[in-house]
Amino acid sequence: MSVLLDKNAKVICQGITGTAGLFHSKACREYGTKMVGGVTPGKGGTEIEGFKVFDTVEQAVAKTGANTTMIFVPALFAADAILEAAAGGIKLIVCITEGIPANDMAKVNKILKGYPDVRLIGPNCPGIITPGVAKVGIMPGYIHRPGKIGIVSRSGTLTYEAVWQVTQLGLGQSTCIGIGGDPIVGTTHIDAMRLLNEDKNTDAVIMIGEIGGSNEEEAALYVKKYMTKPVAAFIAGTSAPPGKRMGHAGAIVSGGKGTAKEKIAALEAAGIVVAATPGEIGHALLEAIKKSKGKKSAKPKPAKKKK
């Protein structure tokens, strides 16, 4: 088993006839993902590079049995695409699109509360991969290797960095979740940590965070209380001056809140090994695993069935 994405995923791509949508649909298919088609309004009934194209998600689900979608729809229309997927019966929505207005995402967030069995990952994220099984996203497949390390991160390319270091250590990944860099995302650090904690195939977790917000601090509290697996982390933005927006809408330090220093302190207080440089993420993981050996955790299980 793995988290969220396994061999039963039947995936469509919303925005499949766009350059990025098509490029990455092909890459996902090559990786082994069951890509069953795509959606572009107005192009239903056509075929592109072997992918069946539908006008709506509803049609695509009816004809292909799709349960997962990867969204590449342009930013100003992406919120609607997410809602269409949820209403159309999709259970796992992975929104790659960046630049969606925050107010749109606030609306989406409220409406998705009416779909408790739908999970949104992103937006503005690299997607999710269960190495050797399937990938739904834009990450380069070859840097991954099946294994038992779970990775969760707000950033895209920084996730690849962590993945690559784990692979080079001879370890592999169970599932890597890129949760996205926007202020409002469907799956937060704490959601992802909970999933990885409950996953039988995950032995240890790497959490990558960045300045801004308080998501990492909340996840640290969860780790302290419930996490039964070793956790290593890196927080980007130690060198960032306050008040400057560093590319991600999420990455902004304001009023001394959400600084790297604060976050690192919170993580360390939860027993997480924090890497001093991005190049040391792999070593931090090894250290976290070493540290946890010999001391069996007696943490309470979160209110879920036991492992």
Partner 1 sequence: MKLHEYQAKEIFAKYGLPVTPGVVVKHLSEVDEALKQFPQGPWVVKAQVHAGGRGKAGGVKFAKSEQEVHEKVSAILGMTLISPQTGPEGRLVRKVFITPAVDYVKELYVSVVLDRVNRTPIILASAEGGTEIEELAVHKPEAIFKILIDPIEGLHPYQARQLHLRLGLPQESINQGAKLFQNMVKVFMELDLSMLEVNPLVVLKDGSIHCLDAKVDFEDNGLARHKDYAAWRDPDEEDARELQAAEHGLSYISLDGYIGCLVNGAGLAMATADAIQHFGGSPANFLDVGGSASQKAVTQAFKIILSDTRVKAILVNIFGGIAKCDVIAQGIIDAAKEVGLSLPLVVRLEGTNVEKGKELLAKSDLKYTFATSMDEAAKAVVAAAPAGVKS
Element (H, E) at 44: none
Site for partner 1 in 35-74 (CB under 8 A): none
Interface residue with partner 1 among 276, 291, 297, 304 (CB under 8 A) is 276
Residue 279 per-residue DSSP state: G
Q: Count CB atoms within 10 A of the CB of residue 307.
A: 9
Strand runs labelled E in the chain: 10-14, 34-39, 47-48, 51-54, 68-71, 92-95, 119-121, 127-130, 134-137, 146-153, 173-178, 204-210, 231-236, 273-274
Task: Name the nearest CA neighbour of 228 among 255, 253, 182, 196.
Answer: 196
Q: Is 155 in the site for partner 1 (CB under 8 A)?
A: yes
| Active-site pick, 24, 144, 189, 248 | 248
Work out the angle between the directed axes of helices 215-226 and 189-198 (0-180°, nearest 10). Answer: 30
Q: How far apart are CA 14 and CA 92, in angstroms?
A: 13
SS3 of residue 162 by DSSP: helix
Q: Is 268 in the site for partner 1 (CB under 8 A)?
A: no
What is the smallest separation between the CB atom of 27 and partner 1, expressed in angstroms? 8
- Name residue 207's amino acid: M
Measured over the CA atoms of residue 148, residue 149, residue 151 and residue 156, the dihedral's sign is negative
Interface residue with partner 1 among 161, 191, 199, 216 (CB under 8 A) is 161
Q: Is 208 in the site for partner 1 (CB under 8 A)?
A: yes
Q: Are 24 and 72 in contact (CB under 8 A)?
A: yes
Q: Is 139 in the site for partner 1 (CB under 8 A)?
A: yes
Among the listed ranges 30-38, 61-69, 220-228, 245-253, the one in contact with partner 1 (CB under 8 A) is: 245-253
Q: Is 100 in the site for partner 1 (CB under 8 A)?
A: yes
SS3 of residue 291 by DSSP: helix
Q: Is 103 in the site for partner 1 (CB under 8 A)?
A: yes
Q: Is 221 in the site for partner 1 (CB under 8 A)?
A: no
Q: Is 158 in the site for partner 1 (CB under 8 A)?
A: yes
Q: Is 13 in the site for partner 1 (CB under 8 A)?
A: no
Interface residue with partner 1 among 25, 153, 167, 292 (CB under 8 A) is 153
Site string for partner 1, 178-207 (x = CB under 8 A): ---x-xx-----------------------
* Size, binding site for partner 1 by CB under 8 A: 63
Q: How far apart are CA 162 and CA 165, in angstroms?
A: 5
Q: Which is nearer to partner 1, 185 or 272 (CB)?
A: 185
The answer to whether residue 144 is catalytic is no
Residue with token string 């799709």: 66
Residues forming the site for partner 1 (CB under 8 A)? 19-20, 24, 75-76, 98-107, 109-111, 126, 138-140, 143, 153-161, 164, 181, 183-184, 208, 210-211, 213-214, 234, 236-241, 243-249, 251, 255, 260, 276-280
Active site residues: 248
